[in-house]
Structure formats: C-alpha cells, structure tokens
A and B are shown apart, each in its own frame.
Chain A
Amino acid sequence: MRSGTGDTVRGPEEAGAVSHDPEESGAVGRGPSGGEPGFIELDGVEKVFHVRRKAGRLRRVREEVRAVDGISFRVPRGAMVGYIGPNGAGKSTTVKMLTGILVPSGGRLRVAGIDPARERTRLARRVGVVFGQRTTLWWDLPLRDSYELVRRMYRIPEAAYRRNLERCVELLDLEKLLPVPVRQLSLGQRMRGDIAAALLHDPEVLYLDEPTIGLDVISKAKVRGFLREVNAERGTTVLLTTHDLTDIEQLCRRVMVIDHGRLVYDGGLDGLHAVGRSERTLVVDLERELPPIEGVPGARTVKVEGPRQWLAFPAAQSAAPVVSAVAERYPLVDLSVREPDIEDVISRMYADNTAP
C-alpha cells in the first residue's frame, strides 16, 4: 500500500514545495517552467533493493526492501537544507542517487538539469561530496598531493585552484596538515581536509553525509562556520545529512525528515520541534538532595537522582528563563542543557503520522 508522493509530508508553509509537477523540465534544466526553480528535483523517486534472506535451513526468500519509497522535493539553487532521519531511513541512499552512484528504481531525479544516473561523470564536475565515514582523499598521499591530483582530475584552472585552496587552507586551518599523509590525520583533521577537497573545483552543489560525526566541539564549530560561509558567499547549494540537530539549527532554515524511505516532514526547524513535540532537558546539580523542583513555568521535573534533577521543557523555548527560575529558588551548583534526541523527535512524529 503506497499513498501518493506528497500527502504524507507534513510541514507548515513549505508544503507547496512538494509538487507532483509531471511536466518535463527544459533541456537547460532550470526547473519546470513557471514553477519553483528546482536545482535539485525529485519526483516520486524510489529505490528498491532485493535481498536474500535465510528462511529455514536451505530455503532462501527474496525480499523487497524499499529504501527510498516515493520521495519528492525541490531544492532551489543556493539553499542549505538539512536532510535528517534515523539510521537506515534512506538518507544515504538518496544522496547516492543524487550523485549517480545508485540508479533509482523509479521516479524522476534531476540535479542541475542532469539525470545523475545517466550522466554521472558529467555531473561529477559540478558536485562535491563529503562522506563522513570514509575519505575521498588518497589514504597514503600527503594532503597536498591529494589536492594536486584532484586539480588534475577535475581540470581545475590554475588560478581558481590556487584561490580555492588558499581559502580552504585559511578557513579550515589546514596549513600544517598539507605535508601529512591522510592516514596520519585525526578524524577532525581528515574531515576538514575532505571538505576542502570537495570544494576545490567550485561545485554548484555540495552533499555532506554526516560531516560532523565523531568530531570534537572545536572541529564541529570550524566546519559549520566554513559551510555557512561557502553557502553565503559562493551560493553553493548544500544538502546535509546529519544525526546532529545542532548542525541543522546552526546551518539550515529548512529541514527534511525521512523515515522508512518516505519524506515525513519538510519545513522549518521550529515546525519540526512543534510537530515532534520535542523537548530539551535541563540537568541541574543542587547542593543537596531536595524534593522535585516545582513551579518553574514551562518546565516539569522528569527525574530525580540524589542532588541531580532533570527538567524537561519545549525545545523551541529558550533555556534562560528556566535556568533563572531554578537558580532563584534553589541552591544551584552546576547545570547543563541536553538537546532533544533526533531519533525521539522522529519516532514521535512518525507515530503521529501513521496513527489514524
């Protein structure tokens, strides 16, 4: 049972971004005429895998897995969009189809007017990809040599190359790393190196698959700041898949949520919190064991463990009034704020979605 492409998508004003426009885009591919300019366009895109599963001692059954199950969206040129969802939701599969690595089983997909599956190498000159889990650099080569090879492979003009490299080296703090073989870099250094490599050829669109996974706070901040700048100055379209809601909060005005291969939300981050009823948690350490904290507007105490207490409050709300309300009336020693868990937000949203 599959419903239409757009009707399960929830989102406030952006609901119109999901269109079923069947008309073919022009040869130049600036998007359907008259409609919203879609730099990235997906119409009912599907990816079905066939897996063999053991059933009994010798028998094996072929099973269909719908990794991406009818996804439609448009991303205009220059946008920075978060693409989030739990593990196995179909995020990476979508990115792989957008780059032409995987051939879709159905639907229509265009990036800059190009069908990625058919013209993978032509598209490759115009996109940059960063896979958080694996490097696109040459493991045994020094960073500088890797970049030099990228330059030749992409036929980057000397002047543009030098300009882009200098910029990346400066903003991502790569100077000292250039002579170091990639295998000797730490995860955060490697990620910065990878992002630079993906931008040397001035791509029009940048896909980032978990770019901050496993990074320390400083590296994360550096990467985010850089991406913001690239998007703002270059007008590079950015599609970001992530587990980290903070990435989205700091970078993207629009977020798409995918679960079980379907788009379940497309809109602003605030709307996501509202839809998912997500909550942040304030963890406070008091001077001594006290009864559960009461009377803090907008917050409720969800857990008490000795002098430590947990207060939940809506994610869209600022933490400051909650903190000051607690500090005013209780002997506060220490505190921390925990961001809502994306998995929780989505699972709640999904539960709502499938409910009658």
Chain B
Amino acid sequence: MWALRSRLVEGLRAYGLIVAMWTRSTLAYRTSFLLTALGNFAATGLDFLAIMLMFTHITALGGFSLPEVAFLYGTSGVALGLADLVLGSMDRLGTRVRDGTMDVLLVRPVPVFAQVAADRFALRRLGRILQAAVVLGWSLSRLEVDWTPGKVLLVPLMLLCGAVIFGAVFTIGAAFQFVAQDAAEVQNSFTYGGTTMLQYPPTVFAKDLVRGVTFVVPLAFVNWLPALRLLGRDDPLGLPGWVDFLGPAVAAAMCGLAWLAWRAGLRNYRSTGS
C-alpha cells in the first residue's frame, strides 16, 4: 500500500516536472501559443455554431431547447477538454512503440505512465475547455431549473466524473496501442467522436447506440444521465432513477479497468519488446 502511494506521488511529481517544462517551452513563444490556443478555441467553437444555426430553423431538438442542448454541449466539452489536457498526448504511444522511443521512457527512474501522459503537454488545449465553459456558463444562465444545493453540486461532480471517464478511455486506448500500434483512431472515435455525440440529446439517437454508450463504453454517464436528472427528463432507456447518480462509481470502475489495461499493456511490451 505504501509502495503504491509512493509510486503515485513519484508519478505525479514526474508528471508535474515534465508538464512544467513543456509549459515553459510553450510560453517562450507567446504569440505562437496564443494563436494556437485561439485556433483551438475557434475550431471547437464551430461545433456549437452548427448547433446554433440548426436552432434558427427549429425550436427544439429531440425535445430539447437550445439552452438544454448547450448544457449537454458544455458539460461534455469541458469534461473531454480536461481529460484531453491532462492525458491527450497518450495517443502517441503507438508511435513510440513503433519507433522504439518507448524504451527510453523505461530506463528513466519515474513511472512510464506519467511520462507518456505528460509528453508534449499541450497548453493550447485550454482553448477547448474555455470554449466549452463559455457555452456552459451561458446555458446555466438560461436554463429553467429549480436549483437545489444537490443540483448545484451535481454540475461540478458530473464534470469531474466525465473527465475521469474520458481519461480512462484515453488510457485504455493507449494501453491497447502496446498491442496494436495503429489503434489511435479507434480511441479517437470514442473520445473526440464520443464528445460530439454527447453534445446532442440522447433522444435523437437510436436506442441501441444509447444502450451501447451506457453499458459498453459508459460515456452516457459523462453527461447524459446526470443531465437528464438535472433537467427533469426521463431517459430514453427507462432505467431506474438511481442510475443517474452512478457517475462516480462508473468513473471509479473505469479507472480500475484503465489501470488493469495499462498494466497488462506494459507487461506485454516488456515481454515482447514490440
């Protein structure tokens, strides 16, 4: 237990060191950083522009108003943005395995996970978070919700759990790249693809798809299920009400799964060397 804790501390320390180094080197070119962050902001903002355009012709999408869709958009965007900022570089793992630079990480006295996660830490990804946060802020000001303390608390909680769930998906995807080095796109379809889906109300999708993201890759717990509770809607699968509060448990379970996957991936690498 102590060993695990000290490894965790070591990992966080190493992560911090590498992130600080990349941040400093990014900020050395301030204009370039501002431009790429702005680009990131604008590029992700186009998604919401598309939704707004849609609402110039309709008043509701799958029974959801614009502020409600904006709430889904903002929550999924912030959750993914946080995970992307912290772990987004992990999809380069396949490349590292292929070109052999993975070995370099294994000869350093700090946990490999921290090195892979912090590698090329991209501060510009704040752009996505900021953009989604702006949309979320706007939606919160427009939503007609009876704000109880529980509901207020639910918002940051779902953002946190959502980020953790996305982070676990990033990790599992990366772990899979130990075996299949070209799997980055599969992972991207769950993370970046997943967030695009979560921007829209679950009612516009086929039930099988909604089932898939509830029970198989539990992205529905990022925002759909808690948001439906918050907005006072029934979920299309008709699940019992307590399921809406499973977010933290699902996030924890995903972390456990990610940890196992990462361990298995690394072990496989260390026995096969490829």
Interface residues of A (CB under 8 A from B): 49-50, 93, 96, 99-103, 105, 117, 120-122, 124-125, 127, 129, 131, 133-136, 138, 140-142, 145, 148-149, 152-154
Minimum Cβ distance to chain B for residue A66 (Å): 14
Whether A152 lies near B17 (C-beta < 8 A) is: yes
In the complex, whether B273 has a CB less than 8 A from a CB of chain A is yes
Whether B18 lies near A99 (C-beta < 8 A) is: no
In the complex, whether B25 has a CB less than 8 A from a CB of chain A is yes
Residue picked from A122, A140, A152, most chain B C-beta under 10 Å: A152
Whether B100 lies near A102 (C-beta < 8 A) is: no
Contacts of B25 in A (CB 8 A): 140-142, 145
Q: Decide: A145 near B21, CB < 8 A? Known: A49-B272, A102-B270, A102-B271.
A: yes
How many of chain B's residues touch chain A, expressed as a range? 20 to 34
**Cα–Cα distance between A10 and B166 once the two chains are bound (Å):** 57
**Cα–Cα distance between A129 and B101 once the two chains are bound (Å):** 13
Whether B273 lies near A102 (C-beta < 8 A) is: yes
Contacts of A149 in B (CB 8 A): 17-18, 21
Beyond contacts A49-B272, A121-B110, A134-B100: 19 other A-B pairs, Cβ-Cβ < 8 A, are A49-B273, A93-B273, A96-B273, A100-B106, A100-B107, A101-B107, A103-B271, A105-B271, A121-B111, A125-B109, A131-B100, A134-B101, A134-B103, A135-B101, A135-B104, A140-B25, A140-B120, A141-B21, A145-B21
What are 25 A-B pairs at a CB distance below 8 A?
Answer: A49-B272, A49-B273, A50-B272, A93-B273, A100-B106, A101-B103, A105-B271, A117-B270, A120-B106, A121-B110, A122-B109, A125-B109, A129-B107, A131-B103, A134-B100, A135-B104, A136-B104, A136-B107, A138-B21, A140-B25, A141-B21, A142-B25, A145-B21, A152-B17, A153-B109
Whether A133 lies near B100 (C-beta < 8 A) is: yes
Chain B positions 1-23 with a Cβ under 8 Å from a chain A Cβ:
10, 14, 17-18, 21
Whether B108 lies near A153 (C-beta < 8 A) is: yes
Minimum Cβ distance to chain A for residue B254 (Å): 26
Minimum Cβ distance to chain A for residue B29 (Å): 11
Whether B270 lies near A101 (C-beta < 8 A) is: yes
In the complex, whether B99 has a CB less than 8 A from a CB of chain A is yes
Residue of B nearest to A49 (CB): B272
Residue of A nearest to B99 (CB): A134
Contacts of B120 in A (CB 8 A): 140
Contacts of B271 in A (CB 8 A): 102-103, 105
Q: Which 8 A-B pairs have the closest CB atoms?
A: A124-B109, A101-B106, A129-B107, A136-B104, A125-B109, A121-B109, A152-B17, A99-B107
Minimum Cβ distance to chain A for residue B182 (Å): 17
**Cα–Cα distance between A127 and B109 once the two chains are bound (Å):** 10
Per-position contact with A for B98-129: 1 when CB-CB < 8 Å, else 0?
01110110111111000000001000000000
Query: Which of B10, B14, B21, B273 is close to A101, meaning CB atoms less than 8 Å apart?
Result: B273
**Cα–Cα distance between A58 and B270 once the two chains are bound (Å):** 28
Residue picked from B109, B110, B111, most chain A C-beta under 10 Å: B109
Whether A131 lies near B110 (C-beta < 8 A) is: no
